[in-house]
């Protein structure tokens, strides 16, 4: 954990902006947000983030805000919730029926290059799920996606960033922090501190679609057969991470969720 330089002088300004926008009043939650921001800045990964969804506060109102830019606008990538899901102190439980989040973050227009991207999803539910997507976009050719422990595919977790085909590994327990990551021609999948899979492949052009959480955005619409049933306690979208940065990112997010007593 990075030493918090604001402990005697108030909260980090970015943390305070989120706390104010989301109306967070609980002191434990405020401290957790502040420490998360300070840790991410100390690890040098704050600037690589385009959207951070800490899902703190327990309500749809508090869960919608992007920690990186906590304005209530599409341009700031605050979430728009669709369908049914349950908001609680543990995050968002997607119902597996019709619930998903539109981040309003277009994966083409908000990136300058094709070969530096990550998406992350902190899942609190270990069981396999029947054919569900946790995050993703797909334009019929190129896909950016993260599927956690699909029971219909022998409990494999799927990672894919800007290719037509992705990486998989057999996952014994789906309760973990997952990162699908591309840096240059290297595509990796991380589960907590472990790099589970890696591949060298050229990046395709980015789908000009908004990233969805809780389903896969297929040409502007959620796939009716891919609604997630997971409980998400954190998600992010940003630039590609080095192996060290991915490990430090896990440490920061795990410390954050541990301080909220919802870690796995």
DSSP-derived 3-state class of residue 40: helix
At 6, the pLDDT band (50, 70, 90 cuts) reads very low
Instruction: pLDDT band for 8, please (50, 70, 90 cuts).
Output: very low
What DSSP letter does each residue of 210-237 carry, written as one string? EEEESS-EETTEE-TT-----EEEEEEE
72-99 per-position pLDDT tens digit: 999 999 999 999 999 999 999 998 999 9
Where are the domains positioned within the chain? Answer: 48-246
248 Cβ neighbours under 8 A, 6+ residues apart: 43, 45
Q: pTM score > 0.85 for this model? A: yes
What fold characterizes domain 48-246? Jelly Rolls (2.60.120)
Quick: pLDDT tens for 178-201: 999 999 999 999 999 999 999 998
Paired tokens of 17: 């902006």
């Amino acid at each position: 954990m990075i030493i918090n330089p604001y402990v005697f002088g108030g909260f980090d300004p970015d943390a305070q902006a989120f706390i104010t926008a989301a109306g967070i009043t609980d002191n434990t939650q405020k401290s957790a947000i502040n420490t998360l921001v300070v840790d991410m800045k100390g690890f040098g990964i704050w600037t690589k983030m385009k959207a951070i969804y800490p899902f703190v506060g327990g309500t749809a109102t508090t869960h919608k805000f992007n920690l990186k830019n906590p304005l209530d606008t599409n341009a700031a990538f605050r979430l728009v919730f669709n369908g049914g899901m349950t908001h609680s102190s543990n995050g968002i439980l997607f119902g597996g029926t019709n619930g998903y989040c539109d981040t309003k973050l277009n994966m083409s227009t908000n990136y300058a290059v094709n070969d530096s991207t990550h998406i992350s999803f902190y899942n609190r539910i270990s069981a396999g799920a029947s054919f569900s997507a946790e995050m993703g976009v797909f334009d019929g050719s190129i896909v950016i996606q993260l599927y956690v422990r699909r029971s219909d595919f022998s409990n494999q977790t799927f990672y894919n960033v800007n290719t037509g085909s992705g990486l998989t590994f057999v996952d014994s327990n789906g309760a973990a922090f997952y990162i699908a990551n591309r840096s240059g021609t290297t595509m990796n999948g991380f589960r907590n501190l472990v790099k589970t899979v890696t591949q060298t492949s050229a990046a395709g052009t980015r789908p000009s679609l908004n990233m969805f959480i809780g389903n896969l955005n297929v040409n502007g619409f959620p796939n009716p057969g891919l609604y997630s049933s997971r409980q998400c306690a954190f998600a992010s979208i940003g630039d590609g991470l080095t192996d060290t940065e991915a490990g430090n990112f896990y440490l920061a997010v795990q410390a954050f969720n541990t301080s909220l007593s919802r870690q796995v």
